[in-house]
Structure 1
Amino acid sequence: MANSNTETNYNSKKENESVEEQDIAQPAEKVEDEWMIRRCAVYDDEYSDCTSFKARFNQYFIFGKTLDCTQWKKDSINCYKWKDNQDLKAANELIESEKNRRKERLLPHYMNDVWEKRKAPPEDWNKPLPEYLQKEYEYTYLNVKSKEMKGEIPPSFDMNVPYCTVM
């Protein structure tokens, strides 16, 4: 009798191990918009930044009250659930949160009725600069380095000359 129980336990352990191996061996399901999920440390940093004393003071100064930071904490928890356990529900909640955050950030852009959006760039977008700007640009660091790289002028810094730096 003891042998049959032992065999049953051994067989059930073996079945459990094979099920676990199958779970590990199978690739995780692909989640649509998975690219929106940031690294989990980013959510942790955002939460800690949102709840810091400096941020709370700034929030009170700007908005007259402190902001609710719980969404960052939820996102962090969901991120770790997705990363560690491949929890699809957590991944979908995290993606939905990112979509809402993005929508909220871009809402002023879409609600803008002050500026007319262009359909195409202006026709003369690449015309030369006015003469006074070209004269100002002539001796800028960027222009000099550009000419050096093109070989139009010799390098202004000779690497063969020994220099001494005192620290």
Structure 2
Amino acid sequence: MAGPKDNVEEDKGEKLTYVKDDWMIRRCTVYDEEYSDCTSIRARFNQYFIYGKTLDCSQWKKDSLNCYKWTENYDIKAAEELIESEKQRRRERLLPHYQNDIWVKRKTPPENWDKPLPEFLQKGYENTYLNIKAKELRGDIPPSFDTNIKFCTIL
């Protein structure tokens, strides 16, 4: 669990370091894969097609290096830079959502959101896998197979 960023504890010779918002840090291999994907020929062609230029992928490389510094050496500065990078990436991703002035956001659900479905939709839903499993979970019908049987799949 994340605590104050300056809280560093020693426990039986093992170094435990907590940084605020450390849950935002992904596995280091994810940053490596993102950098590799960003710099691939296919991605470069796609970037040029969409934006008219290639994108700067250096942030993924910096994030990868900071991630390894954090996981291997418990470098708090590297972790903080990585978390700030993740926050910036998140802000950029959500910016169009917050700038949207076309759709009016609801404060409450529509008044009839829970009314029954039309009859033709109820008939179509009657024999679906989802409906059968829901009935099994509610106990309306017995399970469709013996749950005590162990299945093995070899691919």
Same fold, judged at TM 0.5 (above): yes
TM-score, length-scaled by structure 2:
0.76
The higher radius of gyration belongs to 1
Kindly state the Cα deviation for residue 141 of structure 1 after the two structures are TM-superposed. Answer: 3.5
AA in 1 matched with 2:109: P
Partner of 2:149: none
Kindly state the Cα deviation for residue 101 of structure 1 after the two structures are TM-superposed. Answer: 0.2
State how far apart, in whole Å, the 2-side matches of 1:86 and 1:73 are: 18
Higher mean alpha-carbon deviation, 136-145 vs 77-86, is at 136-145
Partner of 1:111: 99
Count matched residues: 137
Percent sequence identity over aligned pairs: 73
What does the per-residue CA deviation read over 1:125-146, in whole Å, with 9 as the maximum and x for residues that have no partner? 2211111211222233433444
AA in 1 matched with 2:34: E
Higher mean alpha-carbon deviation, 44-53 vs 118-127, is at 118-127
State how far apart, in whole Å, the 1-side matches of 2:46 and 2:95 are: 23
AA in 1 matched with 2:106: R
Matched, 1:32 2:20: yes
Kindly state the Cα deviation for residue 58 of structure 1 after the two structures are TM-superposed. Answer: 1.2
Question: Gaps spanning 5+ residues in structure 2: where?
Answer: 1-9, 147-155
- Residues 33, 157 of structure 1: CA spacing in aligned structure 2 closer, same or farther, 3 A cutoff? closer
Question: Gaps spanning 5+ residues in structure 1: where?
Answer: 1-20, 159-167
Partner of 1:86: 74
What does the per-residue CA deviation read over 1:66-93, in whole Å, with 9 as the maximum and x for residues that have no partner? 1110000000000000111111111111
Q: Secondary structure at the match of 1:99?
A: helix
Q: Secondary structure at the match of 2:122?
A: helix
Kindly state the Cα deviation for residue 35 of structure 1 after the two structures are TM-superposed. Answer: 0.7
Equivalent of residue 58 in structure 2, options 59, 70, 77:
70
State how far apart, in whole Å, the 1-side matches of 2:107 and 2:13 are: 50
State how far apart, in whole Å, the 2-side matches of 1:120 and 1:146 are: 27
TM-score, length-scaled by structure 1:
0.71
Kindly state the Cα deviation for residue 29 of structure 1 after the two structures are TM-superposed. Answer: 3.8
- Residues 157, 34 of structure 1: CA spacing in aligned structure 2 closer, same or farther, 3 A cutoff? closer
Kindly state the Cα deviation for residue 124 of structure 1 after the two structures are TM-superposed. Answer: 2.3
- Residues 142, 78 of structure 1: CA spacing in aligned structure 2 closer, same or farther, 3 A cutoff? same
State how far apart, in whole Å, the 2-side matches of 1:155 and 1:100 are: 49
